[in-house]
């Protein structure tokens, strides 16, 4: 039960959006860490296997291009993390890099996690850096280096949400950490992968004669990863919504809810573009490839794909910029506003009461299980439907007369 409202006296709580520079600093950290994961994952899960099957001569070039970008992003993650730490360590709103550096591995759990974040980012960059050389990218070390780099970068991203204190409830804390890992890794693989696809769309990576076959398979394989990531983000987002928001009304009555609403709208825009790719563009590219179509239509489709991906990347980066503005909880902001309305005298804002964390009950598990099944079925069904659409277009093209080129 919440504390009695009549026994409290507080000023109207202030829940500012937060300084713009704070979000900008945090944004650079998220972009580099998530981009590092996504670029390597793209080489491991989608672009690499697609090149190996459809354009073996381009495998080294594809791997090298993604490896160069990942190595650069991994190195840039270090100053991004240190800048974030330095901004937090400065009491005057500046940047205390000396304090930030000293906080790494300072004996505290937070220091160890920050140290691992920096160290593992560099380790991931060092692992993939040799693959920037095409002769190395074409060798047997490719899979091992990419796999090790993906593990290191994933743990570096995960350290941002690992608990810094010994939890009182190991079960709940472990589950919340798992939820955050799904949220962050899903976003990293999806958004970083989109950026990697945009890099590969630039001239020089894929020979023209193999370009259609490569992109058809690469897009299809990335669709599997992206669909899985959307499912992970949706499920983890539903849990975080349950944990921090009590009812749809708080999406408009609290600052946390309004920021979350903007984030949901951007995520919805990304989903709409993804659906356009999945159900309209991809089936047409697949059908054109399967029927050996060399007409200008295929070129138009392949040129349209990078444009859509570029818009998705911009929306994704905007989403990462909005996310750091989420502070506190809509539940607490609404409760503190209610306390202030019934207060007679003012107390410091830091002493305003907070609601206890929601307790997980049987109904929570029932709803959570139902939501999980529904999301998985919806995503799997959507992927299979897009594949059937491609098959139908191919069959229709085969039975119809060819159009003049």
**pLDDT tens by residue, 166-185:** 888 888 899 999 999 999 99
DSSP state of 105: T
Using the structure block, give the residue that is written with the tokens 């090790």: 148
Residue 122 has pLDDT above 90, yes or no: yes
Per-residue model confidence (pLDDT) at position 317: 93
Per-residue model confidence (pLDDT) at position 3: 52
Per-residue model confidence (pLDDT) at position 297: 46
Q: How far is CA 226 from the centre of its chain?
A: 10
Flag the least confident range among 3-17, 39-53, 206-220. Answer: 3-17
Q: Which of 71-75, 204-208, 210-214, 229-233 has the highest mean pLDDT?
A: 71-75
Per-residue model confidence (pLDDT) at position 8: 46
Tokens of 102: 């000293």
What would the mean pLDDT of 341-349 be, rounded to a whole number?
Answer: 62
Per-residue model confidence (pLDDT) at position 292: 53
DSSP state of 132: G
The DSSP-derived string for 181-242 is: HHHHHHHHHHHHHHHHHHHHHSTTSS-GGGHHHHHHHHHHHHHHHHHHHHHHHHHHHHHHHH
Q: With bands split at pLDDT 50, 70 and 90, how would you rate the model's confidence at 220?
A: confident
Percentage of residues in the chain having pLDDT higher than 70: 83
Per-residue model confidence (pLDDT) at position 33: 96
pLDDT in tens, 365-405: 888 889 889 988 988 887 777 767 666 655 554 455 444 43
Per-residue model confidence (pLDDT) at position 10: 44
Per-residue model confidence (pLDDT) at position 348: 57
Burial of 68 (0-12, 13-18, 19+ CB in 10 A): middle
Residue 124 has pLDDT above 80, yes or no: yes
Flag the least confident range among 51-60, 167-176, 196-205, 302-311. Answer: 302-311
pLDDT in tens, 76-109: 999 999 999 999 888 777 899 999 999 999 999 9
Q: With bands split at pLDDT 50, 70 and 90, how would you rate the model's confidence at 9?
A: very low
Per-residue model confidence (pLDDT) at position 201: 85
Flag the least confident range among 55-69, 74-88, 90-104, 208-222. Answer: 208-222
Residue 16 has pLDDT above 90, yes or no: no
Per-residue model confidence (pLDDT) at position 301: 56
pLDDT in tens, 242-298: 999 988 899 988 899 999 999 999 999 998 888 887 777 766 666 655 555 444 445
Separation CA 201–CA 195 (nearest Å): 10
Spatial CA neighbour of 35 closest among 193, 252, 184: 193
Per-residue model confidence (pLDDT) at position 14: 53
Per-residue model confidence (pLDDT) at position 23: 86
Per-residue model confidence (pLDDT) at position 160: 93
Distances (CA, A) of 282 to 103, 241, 322: 48, 32, 30
Spatial CA neighbour of 389 closest among 281, 308, 292: 281
Is 353:336 a contact under the CB 8 Å cutoff?
yes
What would the mean pLDDT of 316-333 be, rounded to a whole number?
Answer: 89
Q: Which of 45-54, 217-226, 343-352 has the highest mean pLDDT?
A: 45-54
What would the mean pLDDT of 287-312 be, rounded to a whole number?
Answer: 64
Separation CA 323–CA 251 (nearest Å): 15
Instruction: Say how many C-beta atoms besides its own lie within 10 A of residue 33's C-beta.
Output: 30
Separation CA 121–CA 133 (nearest Å): 20
Separation CA 106–CA 113 (nearest Å): 10
Q: What mean pLDDT is reported for the chain? A: 84
Distances (CA, A) of 322 to 120, 232, 263, 352: 26, 20, 7, 26
Per-residue model confidence (pLDDT) at position 403: 40
Separation CA 342–CA 344 (nearest Å): 7
What would the mean pLDDT of 184-208 be, rounded to a whole number?
Answer: 89
Distances (CA, A) of 311 to 75, 195, 305, 317: 26, 10, 10, 10
Q: What are phi and psi of 325, to 5 degrees?
A: -75, -10
Spatial CA neighbour of 192 closest among 23, 277, 73, 60: 73
What is the maximum alpha-carbon separation in the chain? 83
Distances (CA, A) of 347 to 4, 8, 11, 185: 16, 9, 6, 41
- Quick one: which H or E segment has residue 38? helix 20-45
**Can you tell me whether residue 383 is helix, strand or coil?**
helix
């Amino acid at each position: 039960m919440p504390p009695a409202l009549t026994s409290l006296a507080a000023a109207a709580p202030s829940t500012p959006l937060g300084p713009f520079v704070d979000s900008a600093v945090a944004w650079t950290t998220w972009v580099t860490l998530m981009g590092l994961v996504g670029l390597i994952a793209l080489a491991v899960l989608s672009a690499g296997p697609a090149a190996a099957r459809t354009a073996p001569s381009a495998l080294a070039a594809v791997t090298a291009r993604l490896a160069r970008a990942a190595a650069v992003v991994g190195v840039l993650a270090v100053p991004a993390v240190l800048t974030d730490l330095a901004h937090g360590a400065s009491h005057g709103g500046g940047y205390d890099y000396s304090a930030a550096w000293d906080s790494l591995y300072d004996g505290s759990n937070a220091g160890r996690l920050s140290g691992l974040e920096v160290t593992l980012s560099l380790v991931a960059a060092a692992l993939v850096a040799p693959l920037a050389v095409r002769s190395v990218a074409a060798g047997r070390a490719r899979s091992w280096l990419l796999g090790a780099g993906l593990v290191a970068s994933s743990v570096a991203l995960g350290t941002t949400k690992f608990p810094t204190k010994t939890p009182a409830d190991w079960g709940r804390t472990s589950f919340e950490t798992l939820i955050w890992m799904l949220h962050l890794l899903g976003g990293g693989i999806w958004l970083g992968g989109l950026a990697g696809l945009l890099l590969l769309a630039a001239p020089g990576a894929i020979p023209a004669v193999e370009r259609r076959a490569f992109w058809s398979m690469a897009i299809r394989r990335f669709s599997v990863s992206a669909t899985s990531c959307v499912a992970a983000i949706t499920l983890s987002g539903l849990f975080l919504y349950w944990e921090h928001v009590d009812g749809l009304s708080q999406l408009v009555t609290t600052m946390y809810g309004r920021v979350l609403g903007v984030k949901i709208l951007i995520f919805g825009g990304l989903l709409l573009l993804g659906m356009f790719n999945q159900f309209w563009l991809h089936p047409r590219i697949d059908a054109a490839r399967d029927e050996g179509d060399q007409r200008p239509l295929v070129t138009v489709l392949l040129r349209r794909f990078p444009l859509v991906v570029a818009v998705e990347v911009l929306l994704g980066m905007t989403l990462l910029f909005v996310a750091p503005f989420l502070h506190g909880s809509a539940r607490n902001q609404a409760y503190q506003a209610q306390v202030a309305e019934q207060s007679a005298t003012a107390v410091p804002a830091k002493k305003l009461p907070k609601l206890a964390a929601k307790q997980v009950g049987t109904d929570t598990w029932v709803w959570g299980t139902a939501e999980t099944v529904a999301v998985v079925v919806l995503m799997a069904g959507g992927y299979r439907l897009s594949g059937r659409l491609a098959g139908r277009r191919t069959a229709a093209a085969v039975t119809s007369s060819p159009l003049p080129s």
